Every structure is written in C-alpha cells, then in structure tokens.
A and B are shown apart, each in its own frame.
Chain A
C-alpha cells in the first residue's frame, strides 16, 4: 500500500518546517528562510518529489547534500539560490555521472529542505530518508559515513559562483575539517554535494521515512494548535516521545569553543516536576538531559526543547532566562545505536561518560 513516489505541496512544506524544527534538537538552523525558498520554488512551477527508500534500484546513484556553515550568517547573507545545483553539476562533471536522486543528510533543522529545493531545480526526486534522524554538528556524523560511505570527491559552492572540489580526504574527519576552512573563506554559508551512494547502500545505511515522519509530526502540531489542543501532547503521540520535564529556565550558559556553541541550562521544575531540578548540556544541539543530577536522556537519543505553552520548538539561540519549556526525549533510530555508530555520535564522542 505504500506509495513509491509522491509530490509535496505547500502544506507539506509548512508542516515540515515544524517537524524539522523539533528534530533539530536545538541546532540544525532555523528552517524559516529555507521554507520561503521552497515555497518560491513550488510557486515557480517546479515539482518537488519524494521517492521511497524501498523503491530505489540497487545501482541508482544517490547524492547526499546540504548546507554547511553558521546559521546566523544564513539569516543575513541568504543563499543566491542555485548553489546546490552548481555543486551537484560540478560533482557530476568531475566524476562523469548523473544523479538519479538526492538524499538528505540531516532531517533536523534547515537542512531538511535544502535537498528538496535543489532536486526540484535539477528535476530529480529526493529519497524519503536521511543520515541522522535529527541534527548533529558535523557532517561525518551521518549513518552514511558511519556505515562506510566515503564522502569524497565532493563539491562545495558559494553564492559568488566559487566552486571547490575536494578530490580526496583520507578520513571523514579530515573532509569535515577542510570543508570548514573553505566555508569560512567563502563567507560562512555554502552548499556541499557529497560523493554518490549506490541505491543498495542507501537502503542499508539510511534512516528510513524521514520526510514522511517529519511532515506527519509537523502536521500533528499544527492541527493541535488550530484545534486548541496541547501541542506538546500531540508531539508525543506522534513520535513515541516521553515528556521528561517541564520547568522554567533559571540559568543559561553559552560559550564559544573551537567554533561551536557549548554550554548548558538549568531548569526549575513545575507541575509534576515541582521542586525538582533539570539540566541540559548543549554542543550546538541539546545532548544530555539530567533530572536531579541523574542522566535521563543522552545523545544519540533526542533531547527536544519546546515552548511549554505553544509547542514551538526552541533552538539554542532562542533560549531566554525565565522561559517555560517542556523537555521531550525521543528514542533514536536503532541505526544510531550500534557500536560503530556510538563511536561517532555516542556520548563518548561528545565527551560524556556513558554511565552516570
């Protein structure tokens, strides 16, 4: 009964904005602008198509791609608009192939819509999958890389028209490091197309149904808001999430360290959590939630922070002292919990002891 190929419309994009914001776990960038771009693309008559993971031919060539850079640059120096297609075409020219479809690397935040826009411009579909099931700070933190995809050669494009091809990186971490340096030179916000994956590999390594799930999640929240029902409850019903805590932010620390935001927040509980204290540690994304000093949720499981009253997902830069928040925990996809995955995106990889 499942559809193999379908088109997205404006309502899907509006729902995806919310769903992707929740799965961004505080990072991933704000999807508002990329939503506007997606709507412009639809209004210009481009078709935005999704194909199911299961329907991929084993020999299909799937290019993962997305934006790379600082979200705050992205809200001021907005993309020119065809960076992604330029990066894709440069990669295709370099390797001598044509992509059959694009794949999302990060369903959480702004990068959820980037592949949709680029694919619509290029006239190919996007696969209903992603490489994180959430947001992570570094590009090698995808199930694609974890399960053996070598992401070079890759091509990076900026708004000016500059294109850099990374022919070879000896490790994924090296690729990430070189890509960061080039992003800075290009002005802090670029688009990167990675080496193609085979359909067979994608079916094995990708997190399935990412777009369908994120759109359903967003739609549930929007429906709850318009029906005057509790959006936090709607989000839980839709994701199997657990309500971990409700409280008011009483301390907030954010500092820069190695080009990343690190810090944490302390929450004083209310309602069922009256008299209890929660704290969250963040490194671009929310990574650890503790209740009364004891770890309850830890990366790769998702720590989601919502406005307690209207269910709006809050990113780390939207946090304010005194804000009333709800903390949700969503279990990560099993692909993020294998030993080889935990090595890259598990607690230790972010500097946390695994037990508390």
Chain B
C-alpha cells in the first residue's frame, strides 16, 4: 500500500574486526544486506558497504532517514591495548580509599599503556551528601603542572559519591580546564553508578579512548557524507539502545558490549522468537547468549573488559574458542582456540591459503559452499567427520552451559560462521533465519534509546513512591535528551535497594527507561 516514502528507511551497520556489514531496512523488512571487509582506516570499508547496500536496495539516498552503527572498535582498543591515550587519573576523596589507588586492579600492561598516572586528592562526599573533605584546590594546581610536564592530553576525575553529588567533580574540572584549556576531561558521575573502583576505571578507560573516538566518529561521518547521505547517525551502546554520535565522541565506553547485544537483538527480530539461545559464530569465537522476552539476559555481576572490572549493564555472554577461522588439529580432535582471525580471507584453504580451518572442514563436508571447494576435495573423509563432530560438540557444550532450564529453547544461529552449527544440538532445534550472517547490522538498525538513574535517595520526609517517581522523571528526561519520543517511553527496570545496616532510610534507586528513536517509524 504505502510507497517508500521519503526518509523512512534505516541503514544498520556493524563494524566488526573482520567484516563491515550493512543492511537497509524498511519497517520490519530487510531490503538489502552486504558484507565488506573492515579496512584499517575504517572509513573506506564503511563507504564501500554503504554504497553497495544502497545500490542493492535500489533506493535513493534521500529515502534514508537514519544510519545506526554498531562497533567493537573501542572494546578492541582496550583489549588489544592499542590506540589509547595517556590519562591523568584523578580521584577526589582523601583520606578515604587511600589504600586502593586508581587502576589498582588493572592488568599491568593496560595500566602501562595509558601511562599509569594516578593522583589522589582531598575532596568527595559522604553517602548522604555531606562533604567528605573540602576540595584540595592547591593540589589540583600541582596536578595541572604535572600534566603539562608529562604532556598528558586527557584526565578522568572521580569523586567519592560523585553519583550522589557531582559538584566537586565539576568544580575540579572547571579549575583544571581554566589552567589547561586543551585538556580533555571526563567526569565519573557522567559514566557510571555507585561502586568507586568500577566507575573510576570506566571513566579512565573513557578518557583513554577520547582521541580514538573523535577520529573514529569523524571517520564514520566522513564515510556517510562521502556516500551522499545527509541524514543523522547514531551508535549503539551496551544494552542495544542508541546514542547520538556526538555523545559517543565523549562516552566511547558506553559502546563496550554493543556487538553481542546487537546480534542478540537482531536474532530476536529476524526470527520473531522472544525466548531463545543465540549462537553468534565469528572468526575466532562463538558468542553464546540468552534472549529473555526479546532482550539479552544481563550479567548478574560485574563484567571484565580487557581484564578490568566494570559495572556496566551488559549481556551475559559465554565466548567459546570456536569460529570460522579456528585452526583444526591434524587428526580433527581439536578445533581452536587458535584462529587465523581476520586473515581467514587469505589463509584458509578454500581461500587459497594453507591453514586447515573450521570453514575448510565445513566446505569439505558439504555443509556450506564458499571460496573454492575444489581446494578441499582431497581432505580425508575421516578427518572431516571427526573435525565436524568436534566443532558440534564444543558448541553443544557451550550451549548447555548457557541453558537456563530443561525447556527446549530454540537455538538461533547467526554470524558469518553460522554454518558451523548442526541442525540439532542435542534436543534443541537450530534455526537459521534469513539474513543470519548480518544479524548484528539488523540489531543496530532496530535499536531504541534509553535513560537511566542510579542514585542513593534519602527517604526522610519523602515516601518511597515519590522518590521512585522523581527518579523515573529524571530517567525519562535523560531518554528524551538522547532523542526518545516521549510517548513511546516505557520503564524497563525499577529497583530500590535499601541500604543495609544504616538507619535513616537511605535507599539506592535505579530506574531505566527505553523508547523509540525520534524520526523513525
């Protein structure tokens, strides 16, 4: 009925370590999907994917209303300790917490990669908003001198109980900024929740990524405008909701777990299954996660990123060392965890290389047909059979570990190596939706926007209900600021945890809302 009206189409892009995938979507329909190799400059890979997907969809540029990008770029930078800037980690809160300085629980190589500059000063608040120590203004001036001397470009400021009152973090920023106008400054209260070390670590990683996020977002912008698109674009964050590109420039850590989240959200969308196990087979690993009512099941505790403990909301993902590029042992009884990774396109046998990979086994067994099948026809049938069995067993074992109940949940196979899954894993049926290999890009294209509040409220003179309502209003406003349509906003999480052992009715309230992105269907 409805013609393709102006600005109604969305493009979802997933910039992975190996491939850049792109889809054009109209409503619930995938009009076109392409895969392009990720390039080292990022830009040309995206440009290539964009141009090809628009051509394949046979739509005009003016019909595209928004571009959504999911990327593992920033996670990879932390994991690989690459492209990180040196950071001055400044904590306000002495004398408290003196025994555990900033980055105390980081891996030594990551701490070294960002310079290991840590400073502790007086400042901060108590749990109820009282001042812990007055801000050490002279100390800040000394730090400024040290920053100049060492040529550090970014700083992360963390005040004890900053999420309860961010006043000292802001004052410290203003003072530093007046002395060092060019310094990039991150405040912990804008990054995370209660839990000093986890929030502080996230703020420091964020500061270390600012240069990279600036150049990456500019690269995204460049690719989009060079492709002739004039629409806006957003980036997906940890929970599958969107952030404005300019927010990502300032808060790149918010994208850390967006990859698995997008593949889970894409899988539910492509299958209409709201409860399922999702196996996303990449080049080096398979990521297994659980869909509960259409959303990724969240990890119950803290999650490590590159060896650093964080308290972000992230999906509970089990990564097993089997992927399309996994190296197969000579007798086929071992597959992975060593992988040719992104070099699969040149090193796998079907692509002209000499390494026997899981993909070669799949092609040789007739499970899939990619590359040059003639190059694997002389592999021993016994070897192929054993290797394929090994792959299936490893995936089945991983899926079993993730199962939440005896209920036979369906397994959705997605990702570039989805062909490595058999049709059944034990008693579980494996479903392969159309466009399974670009599920991440689809997940990005359907992302929503969110807002969250997590603070300690004092209930003296207020009721629990009024405090919850105040928190919800604040979360809604944050979602609206992030671009949500007010009418579409719903509360997805509302939690109040009274503070044990303390009289005075202090309660930690966490409210989270999501809504549809403005300018979309």
Which secondary structure dominates chain B's binding surface?
A: loop
- In the complex, the answer to whether A270 meets B406 with C-beta atoms within 8 Å is yes
Tell me, in angstroms, the Cα distance from A188 to B94 when the chains sit together.
16
- In the complex, the answer to whether A256 meets B498 with C-beta atoms within 8 Å is yes
B160 contacts which of A68, A76, A260, A284 (Cβ < 8 Å)?
A76
- In the complex, the answer to whether A36 meets B105 with C-beta atoms within 8 Å is yes
B500 contacts which of A70, A82, A318 (Cβ < 8 Å)?
A70
- In the complex, the answer to whether B95 meets A160 with C-beta atoms within 8 Å is yes
Q: Write the nearest CB–CB distance from B475 to chain A, whole angstroms.
A: 19
The answer to whether A323 and B195 touch (CB under 8 A), given A37-B99, A70-B500, A160-B95, is no
A76 contacts which of B127, B130, B404 (Cβ < 8 Å)?
B127
A161 contacts which of B95, B128, B300, B502 (Cβ < 8 Å)?
B95
Q: Please, which residue of chain B has its CB at the minimum distance from the CB of A256? A: B498
Chain A residues closer than 8 Å to B179, beta-carbon distance: none
Q: Is A178 an interface residue (CB 8 A)?
A: no
Q: Write the nearest CB–CB distance from B387 to chain A, whole angstroms.
A: 22
Contact flags B123-164 to A (C-beta < 8 A → 1, else 0): 010111010110000000000000000000000000011000
- In the complex, the answer to whether B161 meets A184 with C-beta atoms within 8 Å is no
- In the complex, the answer to whether B161 meets A33 with C-beta atoms within 8 Å is no
Q: Please, which residue of chain B has its CB at the minimum distance from the CB of A255? A: B498
A284 contacts which of B132, B405, B501 (Cβ < 8 Å)?
B501
A184 contacts which of B94, B500, B502, B508 (Cβ < 8 Å)?
B502
- In the complex, the answer to whether B292 meets A70 with C-beta atoms within 8 Å is no
- In the complex, the answer to whether B497 meets A254 with C-beta atoms within 8 Å is yes
A27 contacts which of B404, B499, B500 (Cβ < 8 Å)?
B500
Q: Is B504 an interface residue (CB 8 A)?
A: yes
A318 contacts which of B100, B194, B300 (Cβ < 8 Å)?
B300
The answer to whether A40 and B300 touch (CB under 8 A), given A260-B501, A270-B405, is no
A78 contacts which of B196, B503, B508 (Cβ < 8 Å)?
B196
B100 contacts which of A78, A188, A258, A323 (Cβ < 8 Å)?
A78
Q: Write the nearest CB–CB distance from B396 to chain A, whole angstroms.
A: 14
- In the complex, the answer to whether A309 meets B97 with C-beta atoms within 8 Å is no
For chain B, residues 65 to 95, give those with C-beta under 8 angstroms from any C-beta of chain A. 93-95
- In the complex, the answer to whether B498 meets A184 with C-beta atoms within 8 Å is no
Tell me, in angstroms, the Cα distance from A307 to B316 when the chains sit together.
14
Q: Is A73 an interface residue (CB 8 A)?
A: yes
Q: Write the nearest CB–CB distance from B124 to chain A, whole angstroms.
A: 8
A-B contact count (CB 8 A): 134
Contact flags A246-274 to B (C-beta < 8 A → 1, else 0): 00100000111011110000000011000
Q: Write the nearest CB–CB distance from A273 to chain B, whole angstroms.
A: 12
Q: Please, which residue of chain B has its CB at the minimum distance from the CB of A138? A: B501
The answer to whether A318 and B502 touch (CB under 8 A), given A77-B97, A77-B127, A77-B196, is no
A159 contacts which of B96, B161, B504 (Cβ < 8 Å)?
B96
Q: Please, which residue of chain A has its CB at the minimum distance from the CB of B503? A: A259
Q: Is B507 an interface residue (CB 8 A)?
A: yes
Q: Write the nearest CB–CB distance from B91 to chain A, whole angstroms.
A: 10
Q: Write the nearest CB–CB distance from B160 to chain A, whole angstroms.
A: 5
Chain A residues closer than 8 Å to B196, beta-carbon distance: 75-78
Q: Please, which residue of chain B has its CB at the minimum distance from the CB of A79? A: B99
Chain B residues closer than 8 Å to A318, beta-carbon distance: 300-301
Chain A residues closer than 8 Å to B105, beta-carbon distance: 36
- In the complex, the answer to whether B100 meets A256 with C-beta atoms within 8 Å is no
Chain A residues closer than 8 Å to B500, beta-carbon distance: 27, 70-72, 259-261, 284, 316-317
Chain B residues closer than 8 Å to A307, beta-carbon distance: 300
Chain B residues closer than 8 Å to A37, beta-carbon distance: 99-100
The answer to whether A36 and B503 touch (CB under 8 A), given A76-B195, A320-B300, is no
Chain A residues closer than 8 Å to B133, beta-carbon distance: 160
Chain A residues closer than 8 Å to B128, beta-carbon distance: 188
Q: Is A293 an interface residue (CB 8 A)?
A: no
Q: Is A324 an interface residue (CB 8 A)?
A: yes
- In the complex, the answer to whether B195 meets A36 with C-beta atoms within 8 Å is no
Tell me, in angstroms, the Cα distance from A185 to B515 when the chains sit together.
42
A324 contacts which of B94, B401, B404 (Cβ < 8 Å)?
B404
Q: Please, which residue of chain A has its CB at the minimum distance from the CB of B164? A: A76
Q: Is B505 an interface residue (CB 8 A)?
A: yes
Chain B residues closer than 8 Å to A79, beta-carbon distance: 96-97, 99
- In the complex, the answer to whether B130 meets A187 with C-beta atoms within 8 Å is yes
B507 contacts which of A27, A77, A256 (Cβ < 8 Å)?
A256
Chain A residues closer than 8 Å to B501, beta-carbon distance: 68-71, 137, 180, 183, 259-260, 284
- In the complex, the answer to whether B503 meets A184 with C-beta atoms within 8 Å is yes
Q: Is B372 an interface residue (CB 8 A)?
A: no
Q: Is B55 an interface residue (CB 8 A)?
A: no
- In the complex, the answer to whether A80 meets B97 with C-beta atoms within 8 Å is yes
Chain A residues closer than 8 Å to B126, beta-carbon distance: 77, 187-188
- In the complex, the answer to whether B97 meets A323 with C-beta atoms within 8 Å is no
- In the complex, the answer to whether A77 meets B502 with C-beta atoms within 8 Å is no
Chain B residues closer than 8 Å to A81, beta-carbon distance: 98-100
- In the complex, the answer to whether A80 meets B499 with C-beta atoms within 8 Å is no
- In the complex, the answer to whether B503 meets A73 with C-beta atoms within 8 Å is no
B132 contacts which of A75, A187, A271, A323 (Cβ < 8 Å)?
A187
For chain A, residues 225 to 258, give those with C-beta under 8 angstroms from any C-beta of chain B. 248, 254-256, 258
Among B93, B96, B160, B300, residue most surrounded by chain A Cβ atoms (within 10 Å): B96
Contacts A/B (CB < 8 Å), 29 sampled: A40-B99, A68-B501, A70-B501, A72-B499, A73-B127, A76-B160, A76-B194, A77-B97, A78-B96, A80-B95, A81-B98, A159-B96, A159-B98, A183-B501, A187-B126, A188-B126, A188-B499, A254-B498, A258-B503, A259-B500, A259-B503, A260-B501, A270-B405, A284-B501, A307-B300, A317-B497, A318-B300, A323-B300, A324-B405
18 more CB-based (< 8 A) A-B contacts, given A77-B97, A80-B97: A36-B105, A70-B499, A75-B195, A77-B160, A77-B196, A78-B97, A78-B99, A79-B97, A81-B99, A159-B96, A160-B95, A180-B501, A180-B503, A248-B405, A259-B503, A261-B497, A309-B401, A317-B500
Which B residues are closer than 8 A to A by beta carbons? 93-100, 104-105, 124, 126-128, 130, 132-133, 160-161, 194-197, 292, 300-301, 401, 404-406, 456, 497-505, 507-508
4 closest Cβ pairs, A-B complex = A81-B99, A256-B498, A78-B97, A259-B503
